[in-house]
Each structure stands twice: as C-alpha cells, then as structure tokens.
Amino acid sequence: MNGFFDRMREKLQQFMTGRYGTDELSKALLIVTFVLFILSVLTGWSIFLILAIAGLIFSYFRMFSRNYAARSAENRKYLDLSANLRRKLRVQKKRFDGRKDYRFFKCPTCGQEVRVPKGKGHIRITCPKCGSQFDRTV
C-alpha cells in the first residue's frame, strides 16, 4: 500500500515540475475564497459562491501555470498593493501578542506608536521617533 502512495507522490512531483506553485498571492486568494464561500453559505446569495469558485479556478490556474514571469509579476503587484495593509496587520498582531506585558500609546506629537512595559506606574515617555515627551500611567 505504501508503494501506491509513493508512486502517487512521484507522479504529483512530476506534474508540478516547471509549474509555478504557491506564493503570497495564492495564500491571500485562498483566504478570500474561503470568506466568500462562508458568505455564500450565510447569505444564500449565489454571487458569493460564483466569486468563490472563480477565485478557486484562478488560484489553480496560477499554481499550475508554467509562465513563471507573469505569475511572479502578479505576486509582486499584490505585495506592493497590500504592503500597507499587511504592515498594519503585523502591528496589530504584535500588539495582540504583547497585550499582557505592554501598553501601547500614540505619541501626541507625531503619532508614532510607543510600547511601554506594564506596571511601571506614572512615567514620562520619550518618543523614539521625534523625541517629544509625554506622561502616562501604565
């Protein structure tokens, strides 16, 4: 039985040779497709299902494509367009991960976010970006 799965894996590897595979855009498409599918179930609107299927077809088309240059250009474009959003998500994640040990303040002068360890009482914070100082209780 093991031999069967080994042969299948070999066949799949042969099939994927020279093909583009997955990238950041595929991962984003997969998430969007999944959300669209859930929306179609929740609302019963077939437009969401059609979009989900279209997204899935597009994902597979990209994965099996042999046009490496075109696919990586798409991926670069996606990365450029989503850079701001992905940075914001990264900041939110960092904030969420550190929520037990840190408090976060916005500098009143430049808006830079400042991370301060919790439990220090009333302190004066110096903004690392513009150097202005402000008082907070942590």
By C-beta, is 12 or 130 nearer to Zn ion?
130
Q: How far is the CB of 133 from Zn ion (least distance, A)?
A: 9
CA distances from 132 to 106, 114, 122, 126 (A): 12, 12, 17, 6
By C-beta, is 29 or 127 nearer to Zn ion?
127
Q: Which residues in this chain contact Zn ion in the complex, by CB under 5 A?
A: 107, 109-110, 112, 127, 129-130
By C-beta, is 74 or 113 nearer to Zn ion?
113
Q: How far is the CB of 9 from Zn ion (least distance, A)?
A: 55
Residues in CB range of 11: below 8 A, 6 or more apart: none
Q: How far is the CB of 121 from Zn ion (least distance, A)?
A: 22
